[in-house]
Amino acid sequence: MANFVLVHGAWLGGWCWQRVTLALQQQGHRVHAVTLTGLGERAHLLSPAITLDTHIDDVISAIEVEELSEVMLAVHSYAGMIGTAVADRLGKHLKHLVYVDAVLPRPGESWSSTQSAATQQERLTAAQATTRFSFPPPDPAVFGLKEADHAWAKRRQTPHPGNTYQAPLAFDVQRVASVPRTYVSCTEPALATIAPSRLRVQDPQFWDGAWSPQARVVELKTGHAPMISEPAALVKILLGCAA
Protein backbone atom coordinates (compact mmCIF):
# COMPACT_ATOMS: atom_id res chain seq x y z
CA MET A 1 0.00 0.00 0.00
CA ALA A 2 1.30 3.44 -0.96
CA ASN A 3 0.50 6.80 0.61
CA PHE A 4 -0.60 9.26 -2.08
CA VAL A 5 -0.99 12.98 -1.41
CA LEU A 6 -2.53 14.86 -4.34
CA VAL A 7 -2.41 18.65 -4.61
CA HIS A 8 -4.47 20.58 -7.15
CA GLY A 9 -3.53 23.67 -9.10
CA ALA A 10 -5.06 27.13 -9.26
CA TRP A 11 -8.86 27.55 -9.31
CA LEU A 12 -9.43 23.87 -8.53
CA GLY A 13 -9.80 21.82 -5.35
CA GLY A 14 -9.42 18.29 -4.05
CA TRP A 15 -12.50 17.49 -6.13
CA CYS A 16 -10.50 17.54 -9.39
CA TRP A 17 -8.68 14.33 -8.35
CA GLN A 18 -11.94 12.43 -7.82
CA ARG A 19 -11.39 9.89 -10.61
CA VAL A 20 -7.72 9.36 -9.73
CA THR A 21 -8.51 9.02 -6.03
CA LEU A 22 -11.18 6.38 -6.66
CA ALA A 23 -8.91 4.35 -8.95
CA LEU A 24 -6.03 4.39 -6.47
CA GLN A 25 -8.28 3.49 -3.54
CA GLN A 26 -9.76 0.60 -5.49
CA GLN A 27 -6.24 -0.82 -5.70
CA GLY A 28 -5.78 -0.57 -1.95
CA HIS A 29 -3.79 2.63 -1.66
CA ARG A 30 -4.22 5.40 0.88
CA VAL A 31 -5.09 8.70 -0.82
CA HIS A 32 -5.34 12.26 0.50
CA ALA A 33 -6.52 14.89 -2.00
CA VAL A 34 -5.72 18.13 -0.21
CA THR A 35 -7.87 21.19 -0.83
CA LEU A 36 -5.85 24.38 -0.41
CA THR A 37 -7.17 27.21 1.77
CA GLY A 38 -9.61 29.46 -0.07
CA LEU A 39 -10.40 27.00 -2.86
CA GLY A 40 -12.89 24.22 -3.59
CA GLU A 41 -15.01 23.42 -0.55
CA ARG A 42 -12.81 25.85 1.41
CA ALA A 43 -13.68 28.80 -0.87
CA HIS A 44 -15.50 30.49 2.01
CA LEU A 45 -12.04 31.11 3.55
CA LEU A 46 -10.81 33.13 0.57
CA SER A 47 -9.04 36.31 1.70
CA PRO A 48 -6.03 38.52 0.93
CA ALA A 49 -4.31 36.95 3.95
CA ILE A 50 -3.76 33.68 2.05
CA THR A 51 -0.19 33.38 0.75
CA LEU A 52 2.01 30.74 -0.82
CA ASP A 53 3.16 29.82 2.69
CA THR A 54 -0.47 29.18 3.69
CA HIS A 55 -0.75 26.57 0.95
CA ILE A 56 2.63 25.03 1.73
CA ASP A 57 1.49 24.67 5.34
CA ASP A 58 -1.77 23.06 4.17
CA VAL A 59 0.18 20.22 2.55
CA ILE A 60 2.85 19.85 5.23
CA SER A 61 0.13 19.73 7.91
CA ALA A 62 -1.77 17.03 6.00
CA ILE A 63 1.36 14.88 5.84
CA GLU A 64 2.30 15.45 9.47
CA VAL A 65 -1.17 15.10 11.02
CA GLU A 66 -1.84 11.90 9.09
CA GLU A 67 1.65 10.70 10.13
CA LEU A 68 2.49 9.73 6.57
CA SER A 69 5.85 8.46 5.38
CA GLU A 70 7.10 7.24 2.01
CA VAL A 71 4.67 9.74 0.49
CA MET A 72 3.90 9.77 -3.21
CA LEU A 73 3.32 13.52 -3.65
CA ALA A 74 1.65 14.61 -6.90
CA VAL A 75 1.35 18.34 -7.54
CA HIS A 76 -0.51 19.97 -10.41
CA SER A 77 0.22 23.27 -12.18
CA TYR A 78 0.60 26.12 -9.62
CA ALA A 79 1.18 23.48 -6.94
CA GLY A 80 4.62 22.81 -8.42
CA MET A 81 5.65 25.69 -6.17
CA ILE A 82 4.19 23.83 -3.19
CA GLY A 83 5.69 20.45 -4.09
CA THR A 84 9.13 22.01 -4.43
CA ALA A 85 8.78 23.61 -1.01
CA VAL A 86 7.57 20.39 0.63
CA ALA A 87 10.49 18.44 -0.87
CA ASP A 88 12.86 21.07 0.52
CA ARG A 89 11.35 21.14 4.01
CA LEU A 90 9.97 17.62 4.43
CA GLY A 91 11.91 15.56 1.92
CA LYS A 92 12.54 12.72 4.38
CA HIS A 93 8.81 11.96 4.26
CA LEU A 94 8.68 11.68 0.45
CA LYS A 95 9.23 8.63 -1.70
CA HIS A 96 8.58 10.37 -5.01
CA LEU A 97 7.51 13.80 -6.23
CA VAL A 98 5.40 13.96 -9.38
CA TYR A 99 5.03 17.32 -11.10
CA VAL A 100 1.82 17.08 -13.15
CA ASP A 101 2.25 19.70 -15.91
CA ALA A 102 3.44 21.92 -13.09
CA VAL A 103 5.40 25.07 -12.48
CA LEU A 104 9.06 24.27 -11.86
CA PRO A 105 10.80 27.22 -10.18
CA ARG A 106 14.37 28.27 -9.65
CA PRO A 107 15.26 29.42 -6.10
CA GLY A 108 13.90 32.88 -5.46
CA GLU A 109 11.27 32.72 -8.19
CA SER A 110 7.54 33.10 -7.76
CA TRP A 111 4.66 31.44 -9.60
CA SER A 112 4.49 34.53 -11.78
CA SER A 113 8.20 34.57 -12.67
CA THR A 114 7.95 32.31 -15.72
CA GLN A 115 4.88 34.05 -17.13
CA SER A 116 4.79 36.88 -19.62
CA ALA A 117 4.51 40.49 -18.49
CA ALA A 118 1.11 40.65 -20.18
CA THR A 119 -0.19 37.63 -18.26
CA GLN A 120 1.15 39.00 -14.99
CA GLN A 121 -0.49 42.37 -15.55
CA GLU A 122 -3.78 40.78 -16.57
CA ARG A 123 -3.93 38.63 -13.44
CA LEU A 124 -2.90 41.38 -11.05
CA THR A 125 -5.40 43.80 -12.57
CA ALA A 126 -8.15 41.19 -12.24
CA ALA A 127 -7.24 40.54 -8.60
CA GLN A 128 -7.19 44.23 -7.76
CA ALA A 129 -10.74 44.53 -9.10
CA THR A 130 -12.05 42.06 -6.49
CA THR A 131 -12.81 42.62 -2.82
CA ARG A 132 -10.78 39.58 -1.74
CA PHE A 133 -7.82 40.02 -4.14
CA SER A 134 -8.32 36.91 -6.22
CA PHE A 135 -8.12 35.79 -9.85
CA PRO A 136 -11.31 34.62 -11.54
CA PRO A 137 -11.08 31.12 -13.04
CA PRO A 138 -10.45 30.73 -16.77
CA ASP A 139 -12.66 28.84 -19.18
CA PRO A 140 -11.77 25.13 -18.70
CA ALA A 141 -11.40 24.92 -22.48
CA VAL A 142 -7.85 26.28 -22.04
CA PHE A 143 -7.11 23.01 -20.20
CA GLY A 144 -8.37 21.04 -23.18
CA LEU A 145 -11.59 20.04 -21.42
CA LYS A 146 -14.71 19.49 -23.51
CA GLU A 147 -18.38 18.70 -23.15
CA ALA A 148 -19.25 16.98 -19.84
CA ASP A 149 -15.71 17.38 -18.44
CA HIS A 150 -15.77 21.07 -19.33
CA ALA A 151 -19.13 21.57 -17.64
CA TRP A 152 -18.07 19.57 -14.56
CA ALA A 153 -14.93 21.68 -14.06
CA LYS A 154 -16.64 24.98 -14.81
CA ARG A 155 -19.28 24.37 -12.13
CA ARG A 156 -16.62 23.74 -9.49
CA GLN A 157 -13.85 26.21 -10.26
CA THR A 158 -13.43 29.05 -7.78
CA PRO A 159 -11.32 32.24 -7.69
CA HIS A 160 -7.69 31.77 -6.69
CA PRO A 161 -6.02 33.75 -3.85
CA GLY A 162 -4.01 36.55 -5.48
CA ASN A 163 -1.28 36.85 -2.87
CA THR A 164 0.12 33.46 -3.87
CA TYR A 165 1.12 34.84 -7.26
CA GLN A 166 4.22 36.97 -6.69
CA ALA A 167 5.53 35.31 -3.52
CA PRO A 168 9.14 34.14 -4.01
CA LEU A 169 10.15 30.67 -2.93
CA ALA A 170 13.55 30.05 -1.33
CA PHE A 171 14.76 26.44 -1.39
CA ASP A 172 17.89 24.32 -1.56
CA VAL A 173 18.10 22.60 -4.95
CA GLN A 174 20.21 19.77 -3.57
CA ARG A 175 17.61 18.91 -0.94
CA VAL A 176 14.81 18.93 -3.49
CA ALA A 177 16.90 17.01 -6.02
CA SER A 178 17.54 14.27 -3.46
CA VAL A 179 13.88 13.25 -3.85
CA PRO A 180 13.18 11.08 -6.93
CA ARG A 181 11.07 13.12 -9.35
CA THR A 182 8.89 12.63 -12.41
CA TYR A 183 7.60 15.42 -14.61
CA VAL A 184 4.36 14.71 -16.50
CA SER A 185 4.28 16.95 -19.57
CA CYS A 186 0.81 17.40 -21.06
CA THR A 187 1.06 18.28 -24.72
CA GLU A 188 -2.35 18.22 -26.47
CA PRO A 189 -3.13 21.02 -26.08
CA ALA A 190 -0.05 22.36 -24.32
CA LEU A 191 -0.84 25.20 -21.90
CA ALA A 192 1.37 28.17 -22.82
CA THR A 193 2.06 29.33 -19.26
CA ILE A 194 3.69 25.97 -18.46
CA ALA A 195 5.99 26.05 -21.52
CA PRO A 196 9.02 27.44 -19.62
CA SER A 197 8.83 24.58 -17.11
CA ARG A 198 8.58 21.99 -19.91
CA LEU A 199 11.80 23.41 -21.37
CA ARG A 200 13.53 23.36 -18.00
CA VAL A 201 13.00 19.64 -17.44
CA GLN A 202 14.79 18.98 -20.74
CA ASP A 203 17.77 21.13 -19.77
CA PRO A 204 20.60 19.07 -18.21
CA GLN A 205 21.98 22.26 -16.64
CA PHE A 206 18.77 23.19 -14.84
CA TRP A 207 19.32 23.73 -11.11
CA ASP A 208 23.04 23.80 -11.96
CA GLY A 209 22.76 20.22 -13.15
CA ALA A 210 20.97 18.96 -10.02
CA TRP A 211 17.61 18.38 -11.74
CA SER A 212 18.52 15.55 -14.10
CA PRO A 213 20.16 12.69 -12.14
CA GLN A 214 17.04 11.52 -10.26
CA ALA A 215 14.38 12.89 -12.60
CA ARG A 216 12.52 11.64 -15.62
CA VAL A 217 9.97 13.15 -18.00
CA VAL A 218 6.80 11.42 -19.17
CA GLU A 219 4.61 12.84 -21.93
CA LEU A 220 0.82 12.60 -21.93
CA LYS A 221 -1.08 13.49 -25.08
CA THR A 222 -3.83 15.33 -23.29
CA GLY A 223 -4.52 18.80 -21.92
CA HIS A 224 -3.45 20.54 -18.75
CA ALA A 225 -5.86 18.70 -16.42
CA PRO A 226 -5.07 15.00 -16.98
CA MET A 227 -6.68 14.01 -13.68
CA ILE A 228 -9.93 14.91 -15.43
CA SER A 229 -9.25 14.21 -19.10
CA GLU A 230 -7.01 11.10 -18.82
CA PRO A 231 -7.28 9.76 -15.25
CA ALA A 232 -6.42 6.15 -16.17
CA ALA A 233 -3.20 7.20 -17.90
CA LEU A 234 -2.23 9.41 -14.97
CA VAL A 235 -2.98 6.64 -12.47
CA LYS A 236 -0.71 4.31 -14.43
CA ILE A 237 2.12 6.85 -14.16
CA LEU A 238 1.54 7.38 -10.44
CA LEU A 239 1.53 3.64 -9.75
CA GLY A 240 4.72 3.26 -11.74
CA CYS A 241 6.38 5.90 -9.58
CA ALA A 242 5.21 4.09 -6.44
CA ALA A 243 6.55 0.70 -7.52
Active site residues per annotation? 77
CA distance 106 to 206: 8
Cβ pair 221, 51 in contact under 8 A:
no
CA distance 187 to 191: 8
